[in-house]
Amino acid sequence: RLARAHTGKNKVIRLQGHFHGWHDHMTSGFNSHHDGTPTRGVLPSVAESVILVPPNDIDCIHERMSSDSDIAALILEPTGSTFGMVPLVDGYLSALRELTERYGVLLIFDEVVTGFRVAKGGAQAHYGVMPDLTTLAKILAGGLPGAAVVGSREILAALDFDAMVAAGEEKIQHQGTFNANPISAVAGSTALSIIEASDVNERANASGAFLRQGMNQVLHRMRIPWVAYGEFSVVHLFTNPDNRVIDPSSFDPLKIPWQELKRNSSHAVTKLRLAMLANGVEFNGFPGGTISGAHSEADLIFTIEAFEEALNMLQSENEI
């Protein structure tokens, strides 16, 4: 709404596989309907206002923007889909910034996951690319319900009662049951103060690298053609659905089609998660998980050992 009101345009570009919530404009293209057709219950006219493009194809975005003057915004996860499960090529964000400025399109970073996690200033600080708008949540409210949209005063003025009265314009509607929750505000302020004053980001990122390395050593030792990969404080597990020859030491996810990276074996993942639970570790359904500054070296070693035992269980049942 902010982007449309600010630019006077109607359409939004988004990347296939990127997640931005479940409201009507964002249901297509995350895990289904990659052709942009509406998911069940969504009006075709809503789906038609969203342009889905493949990740890492800057030429496609250039073509779209140069041929359509009705594009208000481009939104994406700045580390790539699902916190880097499908990473972005070097220079991609900078190229997007140049194109959006050239064609008068607002650039929106979805930093709900990456904000205050990748770095104190989020992915935009790490990569040195400043979007026009950013969405934030999770760490923002210290783990409690809470979210924010941030951007320039010029754009956000459309939410301000006094500014819109002075400008003689209609204010953008932004009511919410959970708006201005004082408990979330206190939790968020406390969490952000801790992040600002500590090295928690660096510790979490280092723990992510330690865990990925340990898991890959297990996979190599057990001769299982999977790989743990990712950046920052996350581990993604690629379960190799097409049975590629995999070398964890040289694995490059950018050389794997994004659809394949997202198509992990659901059967193997379910079994692995159950086996990990049996060994005391909750594993996310990515498959993978995020690491925090609260995880100790002992926690990471325990996780690696649980991973090895879980794989032994799957092998004993001929699941892998």
- Say yes or no: 90 and 135 in one domain: yes
Domain check: are 162 and 22 in the same one? yes
pLDDT band at 129, cuts 50/70/90? very high
State yes or no: pLDDT of 106 exceeds 80.
yes
Q: Chain-wide mean pLDDT for the chain? A: 95
164, 197, 230 — which closes off a domain? 197
* CATH number, position 50: 3.40.640.10
Contact call for residues 229 and 154 (beta carbons, < 8 A): no
148 plus 254 within the same structural domain: no
Task: Write the CB contacts of 32 (distance below 8 Å, at least 6 apart in sequence).
Answer: 39
Do residues 147 and 290 both lie within one domain?
no
Structural domain containing residue 7:
2-197
Question: Which of 128, 163, 197 is the last residue in one of the domains?
Answer: 197
pTM of the entire predicted model: 0.94
Residue 209: the pLDDT is 98
CATH number of the domain where residue 227 is located: 3.90.1150.10
Count how many domains the chain has.
Answer: 2
Residue 26 has pLDDT above 90, yes or no: no
Statement to judge: residues 149 and 19 lie in one domain: yes
230 shares a domain with 121: no
| Percent of the chain at pLDDT exceeding 90 | 85
* Shared domain check, 12 and 101: yes
